[in-house]
Amino acid sequence: MKIVIIGGTGLIGSKTTERLRKQGVEVIAAAPNTGVNTITGEGLREALEGAEVVIDLANSPSFEDKASMDFFTTSGRNLLTAGKAAGVRHHIALSIVGTERLQDCGYFRAKLVQENLIRASGIPYTIVHSTQFMEFLAGIAKSGTVGEAVHLSPAYVQPIASDDVADVMAEVALAAPINGMIEISGSDRVRMSELVARYLKAVGDPREVMADPEALYFGARLNDTSLVSDNNPRLGHITFEQWFAASARKSPPANAAA
């Protein structure tokens, strides 16, 4: 079996590639830095030749409304067209829990367009909705920073470690397409403002987190159901404490904002 992972050198892509190769699967880690570009089409036909499964993990380099819409529309269409021509039997994409609920945000609107292109493509598919990665906590803090304070919604989140996400992506790649969506999330439900405050304290960051119900999450107002899964999700096994301890061993925390 040949599997092509678009975005295969990124956070989830590299981990998924490693897991599949350990199982003896032929994996192409496709990305612009390996000569495969889903926006220009460069190298796409050659990479997909003989592929049975494609995993789309590509992400827009910008959260700006037009940029993200242009990225996911162009990339999605190019990848699906090339996949159909190559006879791909299973198209898998990683998306976000809450995508359909947060359409005030241009990035989430773009992700929903990507999902709808997949559903309409005629290629058997599986869409995986994930909650926020623990690795993104620094970025969430940065997005809410005003001066020396971090203004974040107190809405609930269920953060998941990237290792747990990669485990599921590898499992889905070796399974039959479901022509539908599954959800994955962390096991613990916690308020975003509280979790980021724990994270900043752990890394020695002096910024104060302010719980603000009006604070926007990349342009969208949250409530307690926006970013959590009640759709019988597959639960990750790694807790925040376990993830942070492992992250600290790999890269000692510094007193700096990310």
Split at pLDDT 50, 70, 90, the class of 252 is very low
Q: Read off the pTM.
A: 0.93
Residue 256 maps to a domain = no
* Strand residues in 41-171 grouped as ranges (E): 53-56, 90-96, 125-130, 145-146, 149-152, 156-157
Task: Tell me which H or E stretch contains 173.
Answer: helix 162-173
Examine residue 125 and state whether it is found in any structural domain, yes or no.
yes
Question: What letter would DSSP give residue 207?
Answer: P
Per-residue pLDDT, 258:
23
Is the residue at 258 inside a domain?
A: no
CA distance 121 to 56: 14
pLDDT in tens, 69-89: 999 999 999 999 999 999 999
Q: Is 160 exposed, middle or buried (0-12, 13-18, 19+ CB in 10 A)?
A: buried
Domain interval for residue 227: 2-250
The structural domain count of the chain equals: 1
| DSSP code string of 25-52 | -EEEEE-GGGT--TTT-TTHHHHHTT-S
Q: Are 173 and 148 in contact (CB under 8 A)?
A: no
Domain annotation covers residue 64:
yes
Beta-carbon contacts of residue 254 (< 8 Å; ≥ 6 apart): 203, 204
Q: Is residue 26 part of a domain?
A: yes
Residue 257 inside a domain? The answer is no
Q: How confident is the model at residue 255 (pLDDT cuts 50, 70, 90)?
A: very low
What's the pLDDT score for residue 48? 98
CATH code, domain with 82: 3.40.50.720
pLDDT value of residue 247? 85
Question: Do the domain assignments include residue 214?
Answer: yes
Model confidence pLDDT, tens digit, residues 107-149: 999 999 999 999 999 999 999 999 999 999 999 999 999 999 9
Instruction: Evaluate whether 48 touches 86 at the Cβ level (below 8 Å).
Output: yes
**Which residue, chain included where needed, has tokens 């999902």?**
115
Residue 119 to residue 111: CA distance in whole angstroms: 13
Q: Is the separation of the CB atoms in 72 and 111 below 8 Å?
A: yes
